[in-house]
Structure 1
Amino acid sequence: MKSVTFKNPDMAWHIAANIQFPPAFDETKKYPAIVSVHPFGSCKEQTSGNVYGKALAEQGFVVIAYDASFQGASGGEPRFIEDPTQRVEDISRVIDYLVTLPYVDEDRIGVIGVCGGGGYAINATLTEKRIKAVVSITGVNIGRLFREGFSNYDPLAALAAMAAQRTKEARGETQLVNELLPASPGAATAAGLTERDVFEATDYYKTPRGQKQGGATRMLFSHAQKTLAWDAFAFAETLLTQPVMVVIGQQVGAFGAFRDGMEIHGRATASMDRQLVLLEHWSHYDLYDRPEPVELALQQLVPFFKRHLALVPDAGQAQAAA
């Protein structure tokens, strides 16, 4: 693995990323590449990098997992902004970097995203035609979630509160940075926060299971307004022409990945190859790192990427697989 930082001419800050290489990597050759997009409140060292990124690199892809702008080890001020437009633009910025690398085949680039990253990956694919295939792992439409559960189903009140807070901060008051999860599973239980997605998110992000320094699970409240007017799936019927695979667990939680996955699969009618992978016994956060559901997902998405990114195993690999 190689850690890198880069910036584009249109950026005032840098993007931090980890590049993972396939076995017997030879920088004189051309490889298909996959951009791995982390969830809302996550970082590159968590599921996007150390689970799906690692597994895809082992299968022959160059994989780049990166921290979103304003988050993790990437630059941008103020910190902890979750702006869907920036999150989607980051994917294009990462592709801009990839196409400068001599060992990346610019015609064989895919994207995978987890949770909110899945929604961002799909949205980027609508207009970023350098993306040749996209996989969403328990993907969530962050705009829909903010309009509903994250605003207590009162988006206008949320927008009014954000506006008032931003005015306070513009006048020099302290920023309001929301902590999105309880401090521990025990704290979640004590507070009665036992809904599946909330509790399992806490178990992932607030324990050694998934906790990483860059995965802050925080959000700058005053700068979240645009999220409520954003839709990951807008114009999908017309613009989502590339192959798309949607992987979702059937153990439903409040964040709505099952609902969103069914919706985008149904709407992706222009895709040249749309596939839905339903994992009956597994939940949203099981798909972050639990070995069995992750392996079930990989059994579907690895051949999907290999087919659409034209990764042909050499004779030795084919014989070993047989």
Structure 2
Amino acid sequence: MRTVQFQNADMAWHIAADIHFPSDFVETKKYPVIVSVHPFGSCKEQTSGSVYGKALAEQGFVVIAYDASFQGASGGSPRWIEDPTQRVEDISRVIDYAVTLPYIDEARIGVLGVCGGGGYAINATLTEKRIKAVASITGVNIGRLFREGFSGYDPLGALAAMGVQRTGEARGGQLQVNELLPASADVAKENGLTERDVFEATDYYKTPRGQQPGGWTRMLFSHAQKTLAWDAFSFTETLLTQPLMVVIGQKIGAFGAYRDGMEVYGRATASADRRLVSLEDWSHYDLYDKPKPVALALEKLIPFYQTYL
């Protein structure tokens, strides 16, 4: 693995990435590349890199797992902005970097996204036709989630509050950085936060199981307005022409990955080859790192990418 930083002409900051290589990597050869997109509140060292990135590299792909702008080890200020437009544009920026590498075959570019990264990966594929195949692992439409559960089903109230907060910050007030999860599983239990996705996210992000220095699970509240007016799946019926694989777990949680996966699979009627992998006994966060469901997902993902990349 190699850790790199790069900066495009349109950026005032750098992107940090880990490049995962096949074990028999030879720099003079050409390889297919998969851009791996981390979840909302995550970082490249977690599931997008250490689990799926590493596993796909072992199968002969070069995998670039990167930190989103304003997050992890990537640049951008203020920190912890979750801006879907930037998140989608970051995918193109990573591709711009990848095509400058002498060992990358520009005709064999794929993208994979986990959780919110799955929604971003699909949205990027609508217009980024350098992408030849896309896969979503328990993908979430972050716009839909913000309009619903993350705003308390009051998106207009959330937007008004964001506006007030942003005005205060513009006048020199303190930034409001929201922590997205309880501090620990015990705190979650003490406060009755035992809904499957919330509790399992806490077990992943707030314990040694998945905790990483760059995986802050934080969001700058005042800069999240545009998220509420964004939809990962807009124009899917018309613009998503590339092969698509959607992996979901059937144990349903509040973040809505099962629902979103079924929706985008149903709408992707223009895709050259759409595939749904629905895993009966597994949940959203099981698919982050649990060996058995990850193996089941990879059993489908690897031949999918081998076919199209």
TM range, smaller chain? over 0.9
Match in the other structure for 1:193: 193
The alpha carbon displacement at 1:24 in A equals: 1.1
Match in the other structure for 1:238: 238
Cα distance per residue 1:185-231 (max 9 Å; x no partner): 00000000000000000000000000000000000000000000000
Mapped to 1, the partners of 2:258 and 2:26 lie a distance apart of: 40
**One-letter amino acid of the structure 1 residue matched with residue 32 of structure 2:** P
Match in the other structure for 1:317: none
Cα distance per residue 1:267-296 (max 9 Å; x no partner): 000000000000000000000000000000
Tell me the secondary structure at the aligned position of residue 120 of structure 2. helix
Mapped to 2, the partners of 1:296 and 1:61 lie a distance apart of: 19
Q: Percent identity at matched positions? A: 81
* 5+ long unaligned stretches in structure 2: none
Match in the other structure for 1:250: 250
Taking the TM superposition and a 5 Å limit, the aligned residue runs for 1:109-258 are 109-258=109-258
Mapped to 1, the partners of 2:234 and 2:169 lie a distance apart of: 32
Tell me the secondary structure at the aligned position of residue 94 of structure 2. helix
Q: How many residues align?
A: 309
Taking the TM superposition and a 5 Å limit, the aligned residue runs for 1:4-43 are 4-43=4-43
Taking the TM superposition and a 5 Å limit, the aligned residue runs for 1:90-101 are 90-101=90-101
**One-letter amino acid of the structure 1 residue matched with residue 203 of structure 2:** D
**One-letter amino acid of the structure 2 residue matched with residue 308 of structure 1:** Y
Please tell me whether residue 3 in structure 1 is matched to residue 3 in structure 2.
Answer: yes
The alpha carbon displacement at 1:23 in A equals: 1.7
**One-letter amino acid of the structure 1 residue matched with residue 277 of structure 2:** V
Match in the other structure for 2:304: 304
The alpha carbon displacement at 1:21 in A equals: 0.4
Tell me the secondary structure at the aligned position of residue 19 of structure 1. strand
Match in the other structure for 2:73: 73
**One-letter amino acid of the structure 1 residue matched with residue 181 of structure 2:** L
Mapped to 2, the partners of 1:7 and 1:244 lie a distance apart of: 29
Mapped to 2, the partners of 1:245 and 1:173 lie a distance apart of: 45
The alpha carbon displacement at 1:104 in A equals: 0.1
Mapped to 2, the partners of 1:63 and 1:281 lie a distance apart of: 28
Cα distance per residue 1:56-90 (max 9 Å; x no partner): 00000000000000000000000000000000000
* 5+ long unaligned stretches in structure 1: 310-322
Mapped to 2, the partners of 1:83 and 1:23 lie a distance apart of: 35
Cα distance per residue 1:236-263 (max 9 Å; x no partner): 0000000000000000000000000000
**One-letter amino acid of the structure 2 residue matched with residue 184 of structure 1:** S
Match in the other structure for 1:278: 278
Mapped to 2, the partners of 1:248 and 1:120 lie a distance apart of: 16
Match in the other structure for 1:318: none
Tell me the secondary structure at the aligned position of residue 245 of structure 2. strand
The alpha carbon displacement at 1:98 in A equals: 0.1
| RMSD (CA atoms) | 0.2
Mapped to 2, the partners of 1:191 and 1:6 lie a distance apart of: 42
Mapped to 1, the partners of 2:103 and 2:280 lie a distance apart of: 39
Mapped to 1, the partners of 2:235 and 2:55 lie a distance apart of: 32
Taking the TM superposition and a 5 Å limit, the aligned residue runs for 1:258-297 are 258-297=258-297
Scaled by the length of structure 1, what TM-score is found?
Answer: 0.96
The alpha carbon displacement at 1:155 in A equals: 0.2
The alpha carbon displacement at 1:47 in A equals: 0.1
After TM superposition, the runs of 4+ consecutive aligned structure 1 residues lying more than 3 A away are none
Match in the other structure for 1:52: 52
Tell me the secondary structure at the aligned position of residue 109 of structure 1. strand
Match in the other structure for 1:62: 62
